[in-house]
Chain A
Amino acid sequence: MKITFTINNEERSLEVSSHQRLLDIIRKDLGLTAAKEGCGKGECGACTVLFNGEPVASCLVLAPQADGAEILTVEGLLSREGELHPLQQAFLDAGAVQCGFCIPGSIMTGYRLLQDNPEPEREEVCQALAGNICRCTGYQKIVDAIQLAARRMQAGGDSS
């Protein structure tokens, strides 16, 4: 069946089957490979994307359910000129990336958090990231990165 949705501000129409997941069409049909498959059952958060403005585990969304939806992945955070989003830059600067597998999911959750809460406390960042498992970093530097991005975005007035 054909579905139409917006991904990273671009409208796309795709032929999908009712046995595919949103994650499958994002990665395989659209070639946007930032979102990862970790556990495949909604526990690890590696496949997190924003779906109508909220973080979801894209492995638990049936592909046809994306009809009419607005989706944002890490690829959509880059500026038109291809510059990294302040959140991405902060992950690099804070040393928050080790193997990197969880990072696209963690960034999307962090991005959504900063929309509501531009200056989150450490505890609030941890709460928000409860559904994003990282096996490398021990989380400290991921939390650092989100707070660093928050400070920079506040200072630069850039909340895009």
Chain B
Amino acid sequence: MKNSQRNVSSRPKASGSDFEAEKENTQELGREVPVGSADYLAPETLNKALEYRSRYGYKAVVIAGGTDVMVDYFEGLTEVSSWLDLTKIAALKEMKFGPEEIRLGSMVTHLKLATDPRVGENLPLLAEAASEMGSWQIQSRGTLGGNIVTSSPAGDTLAPLLAYQARFVLGSVSGQREVAAEDFFTGPKENVMNQDELLLEVMIPVSRERTLSRWKKVGKRKAVIISSLTMALLLELDEKDVITGARAAYGAVAPTPLRAEEVENYLAGKSLSEVSAERAGELAAREISPITDIRGTVAYRRQVTRDITVEALLDMQQG
């Protein structure tokens, strides 16, 4: 294990002429910075945050709940000369439950997702994933947007977001754009965001159909564990129990969270009772592309992906 660098005074200090120049620029702004100085920006409005983002780009590390970035920072994996703290922006903490779509602010915490009954009722996959993430201490600080932007293949909210066909609203000073969750992630800890953008909101369409869903997190312990794999399986059913839509999303089994299209195609159009859970499980195991790492081997991940898919479908069939 890497030695943590804990002595605060030994942290790498900001250096380099670029940074010094930036610092002077910001000091000219003076009172516009609510707390602090060029090395800590804590805007209270979204417009101000986007302005800083446009001016500083990657030079200011965005911090939300801090549960990922602070670990990297204090292990010396991330060098930070300047922080852009989003925690004072109230607009990013809102949740709106409309008839057509649900909008979740990027700064909504996992604790909120886990405990707000509206989330539990409308987005059970997300509520369950949030409730199993980290610990109470992590859930109360960590945010939905942070989990998305960190873009770890093992991020626990990501498979649920894929299953719900979420769209991410990215903002910059020049406007907004929407990106579908499945187009957002491009590799381990990589995504399509530009350096002047912030994730503002997550939009989830409200399904008109009756839905069944199952969430599963597998890890080496029951709690406070980075997932070895995750699954979010969602079926839309008509009144005759025919599957009209199927979304099978998996995390930690490929460079990005992914949807298993072969599984979905196999399930769609069949009545729930005639589906072969075994067949779906085999398709899932084939479609993922896992690696061997400290959280599990390739063989383990394929086997368990198959098993939890089978188990979820059998459970759904038994009502």
What are the interface flags for B63-95 relative to A under an 8 Å C-beta threshold, 1 for contact and 0 otherwise? Answer: 101110011001100001011010100000000
**A64 contacts which chain B residues (CB < 8 A)?**
35-36, 40, 42, 83, 85
Pick the contact of A43: B13, B70, B85, B224 (CB < 8 A): B224
Partner among B39, B66, B137 whose Cβ is within 8 Å of the Cβ of A65: B66
Are A42 and B137 in contact, with the CB atoms below 8 A? yes
Chain A contact residue count (CB 8 A cutoff): 34
Of the residues B4, B66, B82, contact of A62 by C-beta under 8 Å: B66
Provide the bound-state CA to CA distance between A130 and B39, in Å. 35
A7 at the B interface (CB under 8 A): no
Contacting residues, chain B, for A19 (C-beta < 8 A)? 8, 11, 13, 39, 80
Residues in chain B near residue A61, CB distance under 8 A: 66, 70, 141
List, in ascending order, chain B residues with CB within 8 A of A11's CB.
Answer: none
Q: Mark B211-224, 1 if CB is under 8 A from A, else 0.
A: 00000000000111
A59 to B5, CA, bound (A): 13
| 8 Å CB contact of B137 from A24, A40, A48 | A48
Which residues does chain B contribute within 8 Å of A59, judged by CB atoms? 70, 74
| Complex contacts, B36 vs chain A, CB 8 Å | 1, 18, 64
B11 with A131: CB separation less than 8 A: no
Tell me, in angstroms, the Cα distance from A158 to B141 when the chains sit together.
29
Please tell me if B111 contacts chain A, counting CB pairs below 8 Å. yes
Would B40 and A130 count as touching, CB distance under 8 A? no
Interface of chain B, main secondary structure: loop
Residues in A with CB closer than 8 Å to B75 are 41
For A45-58 the 0/1 string (1 means CB < 8 A from B) is: 10010010011110
A153: CB under 8 A from chain B? no
Q: Given that A41-B71, A67-B42 are known contacts, is A18 also in contact with B83, CB under 8 Å in the complex?
A: yes
The verdict on B6 contacting chain A, using a C-beta distance below 8 Å, is: yes
Please tell me if the beta carbons of A41 and B224 are within 8 angstroms of each other in the complex. no
Which among A54, A109, A131, A132 is the interface contact of B134 at CB below 8 angstroms?
Answer: A131
- A-B contacts counted at CB < 8 A amount to 105
Question: CB distance B224 to A1 under 8 Å?
Answer: no
A3–B224 contact, CB under 8 A? Answer: no
B136 in the interface (beta carbon within 8 A): yes
Chain A residue at smallest Cβ distance from B37:
A1
Q: Are B224 and A131 in contact (CB under 8 A)?
A: yes
Dominant SS at the A interface?
mixed
Interface 0/1 of A2-23, CB less than 8 Å to B? 0100000000000000111100
For A130, the closest partner residue in chain B by CB is B223
- Pairwise interchain contact A18-B39, C-beta atoms closer than 8 A: yes
- Taking a contact as CB atoms under 8 Å apart, the answer to whether A18 and B8 are in contact is no
Task: Establish whether residues A54 and B111, one from each chain, have CB atoms under 8 Å apart when the complex forms.
Answer: yes
| B54 on the A face (CB < 8 A) | no
Besides A45-B135, A62-B85, 13 new A-B residue pairs in contact (Cβ under 8 A), listed by A number = A3-B35, A18-B83, A19-B11, A21-B70, A24-B8, A40-B74, A43-B224, A60-B138, A62-B70, A64-B40, A65-B85, A128-B136, A131-B223
Of the A-B pairs whose beta carbons lie under 8 Å apart in the complex, a sample of 30, sorted by A's number, is A1-B35, A1-B36, A1-B37, A18-B37, A18-B83, A19-B8, A19-B13, A19-B80, A41-B4, A42-B70, A42-B137, A42-B138, A43-B224, A51-B140, A55-B136, A56-B140, A56-B141, A59-B74, A60-B65, A60-B70, A60-B141, A62-B63, A64-B36, A64-B40, A65-B63, A67-B35, A67-B42, A130-B135, A130-B224, A131-B223
Q: Which 3 A-B pairs have the closest CB atoms?
A: A131-B135, A130-B223, A1-B36
